[in-house]
Amino acid sequence: MGDLLLQRLAQARAAATQRQPTSRLLCACLREAILDGTLPAHTRLPPTRDLASELGVSRNTVLYAYDQLAAEGCLVSRTGSGSFVADLSADRFIATPPAVGAPVPPPEPVALPSGVSARGEALLGRVSATDVQWGAFLPGLPDVTEFPQQRFAQITAQCARRGPPALRSYATAGGHPVLQRSLAQYLRQVRSVQCEPEQILITEGVHQAVDLLSRMLADAGDIAWVEDPGYWGTRNILRMNGLQVDAIAVDADGMQVVEPAPGRVPKLAFVTPSHQYPLGPIMALSRRLALLEAARRHGFWVVEDDYDSEFRFAGQPIPSLQGLMPDAPVIYVGTFSKTLYPGLRTAYMVLPPALVDRIGAAQMELYRGGHLLTQAALAEFIDSGHYAAHIRRMRLIYGQRRARLVELVTQALGSEWLHPFDSNAGLHLVMAVPEPLRDTVVAQRAREAGVLVRPLSRYFESPAVQQGLLLGFAAVPIEGMDAPFGRLQRCMEPLRR
């Protein structure tokens, strides 16, 4: 055995591309000899002292190799009798590893499954998120460069110093109680939401809230109402969870609430009443009342997505639908993605008391939430007035940017290019593009010219789509607006002829 190992050790040393300890080389040679059957099961290995002197290495080197192979299950040691090659016949899954330093042979071609599930395939057929998430005029983005990063970092560091170890553990149901308290107070004051802190559930973005609600409040095959046009993210999550999506048309008063057709009563209805996404109208009071009445009568939940209502540039804030009446059948959803920045991935729901415990338990079970330290910092950020101050400051900035973009559109193209439902709010503007322009073609050309806009037609479910473009203005400083707008305009010129 000594000769065999001596020979293999020499080969391994020669093949090694970099210096390896002898103990590891010996270990690899022994392992190889065991796995390729050169040393069959039950073979007794020489005593460590003898092998060490045969190979001209230290006894410790051999001891290391034997110990390592015993730990791997290749050897068994019997006290007083020595070390024996283990019977590996049952371990058919063990492949012979290449000798240390030897070139790795190409793997046997194995056909790994490359398909995804049918619902995965369907999702991939509808993907709408872009692979670039920053730049003029990508819609839906706040100006993340204006976020008071230093102040937030200081607050986070203080929370980390003062807070208990549990801040770094998994979240318990609902999220951090201090943020639940701060948000309840904020939502009552600013959004007229009727809620107690315990009703608040912190989520990883609106996306997680929609996912959780659609899984917990509906079954596969159930129907959900969405607005048409509406947010594709919501539609995709619903469909991924097996729901059928009934798209309800939107006009200048928001969702055109209808009496559900027989057999098509929804379990959930998703609306953006304060600022319809993406067209911008405010849902009229009569429509709000009709929706709540239908929800009560047919027993479905309305999910109010209040994604960017903090940014209205004229008039009074629009009160929430949830707060319209006591015990409204509404689940309110809000997010820090637009007020602070989307990478925070922090949003919240206000759940009716009867659902709090069960949906909270499901959230813990499904996602094992965390980020309690960030939640504690957010609570402090809100309580100390920084949140409200940041929103006030950004409202001014965004209002000016919006005004400049409106000016650019009207001066360069004409006021008829502003969508008639456009309200003086939010983070994006909708441009109605006239025939013969196709919004998808314009968006593609613009992208090639380094300008990011989204085609309105992609937000529609129904085939009777409108052509338009969504232009995000919030993250584009006034002095940086003319150039990309000029490029967008130049992309359209040849297409208009």
List of residues contacting ligand PLP (CB under 6 A): 140, 205-207, 231, 233, 272, 277, 305, 307, 335, 337, 342, 347
Q: What helix, strand, coil percent values describe the chain, rounded to 5?
A: 45, 15, 40
Amino acid identity at 133? Q
Cβ distance to ligand PLP smaller for residue 48 or 339: 339
Strands (E), 126-243: 200-203, 223-228
Strands (E), 101-217: 200-203
Rounded distance, CA 274 to CA 447, Å?
30
DSSP code per residue over 365-392: HHH----HHHHHHHHHHHHTTHHHHHHH
Cβ pair 318, 350 in contact under 8 A: no
Q: Smallest gap, in angstroms, from Cβ of residue 471 to ligand PLP?
A: 14
Both tokens of 383, joined, read 């309580």
Q: In terms of Cα–Cα distance, which of 65, 54, 60 is closest to 25?
A: 65
Cβ pair 378, 336 in contact under 8 A: yes
Q: In terms of Cα–Cα distance, which of 332, 306, 292, 73 is closest to 199?
A: 332
Q: Smallest gap, in angstroms, from Cβ of residue 335 to ligand PLP?
A: 3
Q: Smallest gap, in angstroms, from Cβ of residue 347 to ligand PLP?
A: 4
Cβ pair 29, 36 in contact under 8 A: no
Rounded distance, CA 482 to CA 466, Å?
26
Q: Smallest gap, in angstroms, from Cβ of residue 264 to ligand PLP?
A: 24
Cβ distance to ligand PLP smaller for residue 295 or 347: 347
Cβ distance to ligand PLP smaller for residue 99 or 359: 359
Using the 8-state DSSP alphabet, how is residue 426 labeled? S
Cβ distance to ligand PLP smaller for residue 52 or 303: 303
Q: Smallest gap, in angstroms, from Cβ of residue 496 to ligand PLP?
A: 29
Q: In terms of Cα–Cα distance, which of 319, 338, 479, 321 is closest to 395?
A: 338
| Total Cβ atoms within 10 A of residue 206 | 24
Lookup result for tokens 């085609």: 455
Cβ distance to ligand PLP smaller for residue 101 or 175: 175
Q: Smallest gap, in angstroms, from Cβ of residue 308 to ligand PLP?
A: 7
Cβ distance to ligand PLP smaller for residue 31 or 419: 419
Amino acid identity at 27? C
Cβ distance to ligand PLP smaller for residue 75 or 359: 359
Q: 3-class DSSP state for residue 357?
A: helix
Strands (E), 96-145: none
Q: 3-class DSSP state for residue 226?
A: strand
Cβ distance to ligand PLP smaller for residue 272 or 467: 272
Rounded distance, CA 281 to CA 277, Å?
8
| Total Cβ atoms within 10 A of residue 11 | 15
Strands (E), 45-172: 75-78, 82-85
Q: Smallest gap, in angstroms, from Cβ of residue 333 to ligand PLP?
A: 8
Cβ distance to ligand PLP smaller for residue 101 or 280: 280
Q: In terms of Cα–Cα distance, which of 241, 312, 252, 257 is closest to 276?
A: 252
Rounded distance, CA 95 to CA 73, Å?
14
Q: Smallest gap, in angstroms, from Cβ of residue 250 to ligand PLP?
A: 13
Q: Smallest gap, in angstroms, from Cβ of residue 209 to ligand PLP?
A: 8
Q: Smallest gap, in angstroms, from Cβ of residue 208 to ligand PLP?
A: 7
Looking at beta carbons, which residue is closest to ligand PLP? 205
Q: Smallest gap, in angstroms, from Cβ of residue 425 to ligand PLP?
A: 13
Cβ distance to ligand PLP smaller for residue 182 or 337: 337
Cβ distance to ligand PLP smaller for residue 34 or 471: 471
